Structure 1
Amino acid sequence: MDATAAAAAKPPQNLGGSLPVPNVQELAARPGDLTPPVLDRYLRDADVIVEVLSNSNDAAASVPVVDLGRLLHDPELYDEEAAKLKSACEEWGFFQVVNHGVRDQVIDDVKENLKEFFQLPLEEKQAYAQKPGGIEGYGQAFVVSEEQKLDWSDMFFLATQPPEYRDLQLWPSSQPPTFRDSLERYSAEVQRVATDLLSAMARNLGVADAEKKLTRIAASQSMRMNYYPPCPQAHDKVLGLSPHSDAVGLTLLLQVSPVAGLQIRRNGEWIPVAPLPGALVANVGDVIEVVTNGKYRSIEHRAVVNATHERVSIAAFHTLRFGATFWPLEEIVGGGEARYRTVSFEDYVKLVLSSKLDGKNIIDAMKISA
């Protein structure tokens, strides 16, 4: 690859970043520093922290489970499993993926390396701190004003696919020593899962994917690695992650810890997504909502905080490459009207990174006014 082509392959710079905020893991480790004025930046109004669904153990309130192995390798059960996927995408926007083919060792390795990273001293983690005007690295995201409430969490965000999008200066090379290798292997296998799921979605939607109209949504990938410290002082008054829908195409989340925390909004109430051993949690993002003209809708979700236990997770975001443009597909719009506007992916990312997490504010900005 010559220098011009290499430069073109890199994502644009200075698309947007986040204001600097205190490190929450350090605050949790030093309760004396958590003075009332400091804690106040994290406390939410009482009506924001609502009760979860009271019958959340009922089957009707459980997030669907899709068996990817059946979709890929079992012709006799394909139609049954494809119907489950269709229902999950249309009625829930969230589902757990089992039998996905990501090797147990790959999952175990990335889990261990991620836990080791977050246990490093703060000064070692800050060697990978976000650069001004950028989202990649160790820090926080979507903090756009000094007045907004903060999330009780820290994150480590990296571009992972395609390889030319990576900023390896931000990838730990010695602490933990196997971090790069384990994340690279996990990244490749999860991207394959995303592509397979999008291919099955295209078939369900009647979209011929020879031009990768849906599977191109898995062409790039980034990882948000989350650390949610316990908050014994006010676990029921803070949020680990504010309610939002994902501004990407398809998210695949690995719940590293057995501690529950993820919740989705359904019928006006919050339903917990219990960690299912070995499963990946998939959710439809805003880009898929646009491309399917609202047939598949992105769903608000959030993370709550435990009083005594930390929680770690890793979200793999799959979306378009820079240089792409997206819009509602003609096959789905049919004789109707497009409900969302056409936008270049670069302009879309600028919109996302200039906004705070606030429900479905991004997708609302994409809608065509009546």
Structure 2
Amino acid sequence: MESYQLTTHCSSHSFQSVQELIKKPLPSVPQSYLCLNDDEPFVQNETLCSMKLPIIDMKKLVVEKDSDSELEKLHSACKDWGFFQLVNHGLSPPMLEKLKDDTQDFFNLSMEEKLKYKIRPGDFEGYGVVMRSDNEKLDWGDRLYMITNPVSRRKPYLFPELPSSFRMTLDSYLVELQNIAMTLLGLMSQALKIDKRELVELFEDGMQSMRITYYPPCPQPNQVIGFTAHSDGSGITILNQVNGVHGLQVKKEGIWIPVNVLSDALIVNIGDILEILSNGAYKSVEHRVRVNSDKERISIAMFFSPKFESEIGPLISLTEASNHGLQFKSIGMEKYVNDFFSRKLNGKTNLEPLRIKNEDLPTP
């Protein structure tokens, strides 16, 4: 098998595409992918019935006669879970099917073609993964990450150079998801009992990015991780499990819960930025991806965040109404993004530097 190496700006270490790696039988998982120290508890089947992700109906949220009760469900989901499945979101089945086909076609391109989109030195966007040390364990997946908004921030060799059918499908998909995201942010404002403009205006024409991930089958799936446990650095994330193969797990009360995504449902989760803006009322939650031995998994995650020039900090109206005082420091969005991508994903550690601790409070 020919070896294709993708290097990053953070390390001289190179890595091999997992999709290429499995093209011939593997006697064992390569050392760089072995992840054997994951002994955290996993939910057992008998408890699944009481530990399912909340399901929110978009249609009920916008129909007046059902909106109040569904809005309360949304509020509880954001506070207690930080995750929910969104049904009746309005995306058409033909568009979702076209998106699945085009995404699959992209990963079926030759490696020479995909390397046109590789991560370049000094950057974190593109095809591949960012390595920060030579001994860092690799996730079992190939990724394409791109900033898609503002349009002026798009790298000319990434989104604009995608195969035309894929680019056009993604363009249509982005418009639909922008509408869903802004509607949800408006509804969350309503649930938090704040002025809709206070939250929504931060996100209008804000930073939006996309991560498309291909998780190949693994002969020893319990020895690898598809995506390392982390919370998202976004305001909200909308995940499309493109080909219907499960693998996402959410951490709830110290236990990893597998998410069985409903057919055609989207997964929405709270990111660190919205936890900051809501002064801790809404929680970002750790999640990860596991792989299996016989099925590939493809997903598209869309991340919605405030404008680059904005300041991120607890919204004034929420801090004034809070009994807990200010929970987070403020930071410029541009610096936040640079800081986020300079660190390795590791649980909720990216949020911790902004959390106000007792020693940060002024002395009376």
Q: Do the two structures share a fold, i.e. TM-score over 0.5? A: yes
Equivalent residue number for residue 148 of structure 2: 160
The 1:215/1:274 distance shift into structure 2, 3 A limit, reads: farther
Q: Does 1:227 align with 2:221?
A: no
- Partner SS for 1:290: helix
Aligned equivalents of 1:365 and 1:22: distance in 2? Answer: 33
Equivalent residue number for residue 4 of structure 2: none
TM-score, normalised with respect to structure 2: 0.90
Equivalent residue number for residue 347 of structure 1: 335
Q: Which amino acid aligns with 1:24?
A: V
The 1:161/1:174 distance shift into structure 2, 3 A limit, reads: closer
Q: Please identify, of 280-289 and 324-333, the stretch whose mean Cα deviation from structure 2 is larger.
A: 324-333
Moved over 4 A (4+): 16-20
Equivalent residue number for residue 314 of structure 1: 300
Q: Does 1:254 align with 2:254?
A: no
Aligned equivalents of 2:208 and 2:343: distance in 1? Answer: 20
Aligned equivalents of 2:58 and 2:28: distance in 1? Answer: 48
Q: Does 1:205 align with 2:199?
A: no
CA deviation digits over 1:69-117, x for unaligned, max 9? 2212x10100011011011001100001111112223222222111110
Superposition RMSD on alpha carbons, in Å? 1.9
Q: Please, which runs of 5 or more residues in structure 1 have no aligned partner? A: 1-15
Aligned equivalents of 1:18 and 1:66: distance in 2? Answer: 40
Contact 1:229 1:310 in 2 (8 A): yes
The 1:18/1:107 distance shift into structure 2, 3 A limit, reads: farther
- Partner SS for 2:35: coil
Aligned equivalents of 1:97 and 1:42: distance in 2? Answer: 33
The 1:91/1:174 distance shift into structure 2, 3 A limit, reads: closer
- Number of aligned pairs? 346
The 1:160/1:56 distance shift into structure 2, 3 A limit, reads: farther
Alignment of 1:166-185 (within 5 A): 166-171=154-159, 173=161, 175=163, 177-185=164-172
CA deviation digits over 1:36-94, x for unaligned, max 9? 6xx11111134446433433530x2110111112212x101000110110110011000
Contact 2:216 2:295 in 1 (8 A): yes
The 1:49/1:140 distance shift into structure 2, 3 A limit, reads: farther
Which of the numbers 46, 49, 63 marks the counterpart of 1:55?
46
Aligned equivalents of 1:250 and 1:344: distance in 2? Answer: 18
Q: Please identify, of 297-306 and 327-336, the stretch whose mean Cα deviation from structure 2 is larger.
A: 327-336
* 1:172 CA displacement: 6.5
The 1:163/1:104 distance shift into structure 2, 3 A limit, reads: farther
Q: Which amino acid aligns with 1:321?
A: K
Equivalent residue number for residue 361 of structure 2: none
Aligned equivalents of 2:15 and 2:104: distance in 1? Answer: 22
Aligned equivalents of 1:329 and 1:90: distance in 2? Answer: 16
**Sequence identity of aligned pairs in percent?**
37
Equivalent residue number for residue 187 of structure 1: 174
Equivalent residue number for residue 24 of structure 1: 18
Q: Please, which runs of 5 or more residues in structure 2 have no aligned partner? A: 1-7, 359-364
